[in-house]
Amino acid sequence: MELRKINRQDAFSEWQFITELPAEENGVENSHHGISFEEYVEKVLPKIMSYEHPENMPDWFVPETVYYLWDGDMLVGEFRIRHHLTEALRIGAGHIGYSIRKELRGRGYGTAGLKLVLERAREIIPEEEIFFRVRKDNIASQRVLEKNGVYVSGEDDEHLFMRIRK
């Protein structure tokens, strides 16, 4: 299994993933559900790739790198690392977001992918701890986090806030 940064060579598999992923699931939003391959290649892919080194973006925008998890030649899921916290991210979505393709869930990919992503995140993120937010009813994601050593640091009505030391 390996992580590959989003790139042009893998565009077809990346598009299949993003167009199939629901528009909203467990608080994870996907504004690209159902888009065409042409639109993905011409507009969406360049835009997402630019987020790693953003130009002409508002002050609040935090650089973000998107990785895909591959098992051999099969793309299984997506992991996003926001490079640092803002006040909104600290009390909100945190540093890392992820999704695994629906038909491939429950096979250990989420857990294995997060382990690899944490290695990358430790090289990027300046804060002492890596922050996550998960819905209280999202037991699968909580298991993925717990199995990677991420602990519960707080909660609100709907979410657990979780962290791991770098």
User: Please, what is the minimum distance in Å from the beta carbon of residue 134 to ligand COA?
Assistant: 4
**Which two three-digit tokens encode residue 18?**
């993003």
Nearer to ligand COA, 6 or 144 (CB): 144
User: Please, what is the minimum distance in Å from the beta carbon of residue 53 to ligand COA?
Assistant: 26
Q: How far apart are CA 146 and CA 123, in angstroms?
A: 21
User: Please, what is the minimum distance in Å from the beta carbon of residue 30 to ligand COA?
Assistant: 10
Q: Please name the residue that has the structure tokens 């944490």.
A: 118
For residue 13, how many C-alpha atoms fall within 13 Å in the half-sphere facing its CB? 20
User: Please, what is the minimum distance in Å from the beta carbon of residue 22 to ligand COA?
Assistant: 8
Nearer to ligand COA, 100 or 125 (CB): 100
**In the bound complex, which residue of the shown chain has the CB atom lying closest to ligand COA?**
110
Closest CA to 5 of 63, 81, 66, 54: 66
Q: What does the binding site for ligand COA look like in residue numbers (CB under 6 A)?
A: 25-26, 28, 98-100, 105-111, 134, 138-141, 143-144
Length of the chain: 166
Do 131 and 161 meet the contact criterion of CB atoms below 8 Å apart? Answer: yes
Nearer to ligand COA, 65 or 141 (CB): 141
